[in-house]
Amino acid sequence: MDDTVELQALPIVQVIDDAVMPPKRQLVDDDLDAVYPIVEMFHSVQGEGFHAGTPSIFIRFGGCNLACPWCDTEFDKWTNMTLREIIEVMQSMPCKRIVLTGGEPALQDLECLGRVLKPLGYSLAIETNGTIVLPEDVLDWVCVSPKDQEYPKVAIRQDTGDELKAVWLGQDLSLYDELKRGFEHLFLQPCYDESKDVEWNGHNFRATFEVVRANPEWRLSIQTHKWMGVS
């Protein structure tokens, strides 16, 4: 694949010091030649949040403008693939629901994905940290998982969507008083930190359970795929 192509500016976005950013976008004449940094693509079942239990194709993009200490995704190594190559891989997967994730998928050219993939019958869901405003009329499901409990100075700019999924680390839920108005479904998910022991994670799970019990507008989200040992 040719990596020496003309560059196009990324959207203006807040980037913290330790961030691993993806390559800049490239200008191409044919959308199918657009190149994306792909960490992995796999066909699985959504493990968490509103669509838990729903078969989906996951496209994990490289790079993120944040660097959360508990992050469980390796988004710093990727393979550059054209959209044509991505579609070829997906055609072997019997599924039409795509989850765009990362890293931070909003750093990618989502409009190009929409132009090509939606006419092919795919629905596009995204899981984003909310720091970048998403294009309109491209995504069928927007899940914002804000990280302002870790980065209080980083603004959440995508303040509307279908699902707000907060990773709970002991923060006061009043942090979301304003943001939650823009979302239909509210989920609180215990932080599962693979670097910590079972006792630490178990305590955090129980604590999240109690917070949801006391705040019934929120629902508990558990990362069931981790318990099943699948991606």
Q: Which residues bind ligand SF4 (CB under 6 A)?
A: 64, 66-68, 71, 73, 75, 102-104, 129, 147
DSSP state for residue 71 in the 8-state scheme: -
**35 or 107: whose CB is closer to ligand SF4?**
107
Which one of 71, 160, 205, 224 is the catalytic residue?
A: 71
Structure tokens at 52: 């838990």
Q: In whole angstroms, how far apart are CA 228 and each of 44, 47, 225?
A: 12, 9, 5
User: CB 151 → ligand SF4: shortest distance, Å?
Assistant: 9
Structure tokens at 11: 């959207």
User: CB 145 → ligand SF4: shortest distance, Å?
Assistant: 7
User: CB 216 → ligand SF4: shortest distance, Å?
Assistant: 26
Whether residue 160 lies in the annotated active site:
no
Counting every residue, how long is the chain? 231
Interior CA angle at 2 toward 62 and 14, to 5°? 30
Strand partners, 163: 143, 185
**117 or 167: whose CB is closer to ligand SF4?**
167
CA distance 176 to 10: 28
Whether residue 4 lies in the annotated active site:
no
Whether residue 72 lies in the annotated active site:
yes
**30 or 152: whose CB is closer to ligand SF4?**
152
What are the residue numbers of the active site?
58, 64, 68, 71-73, 127, 225
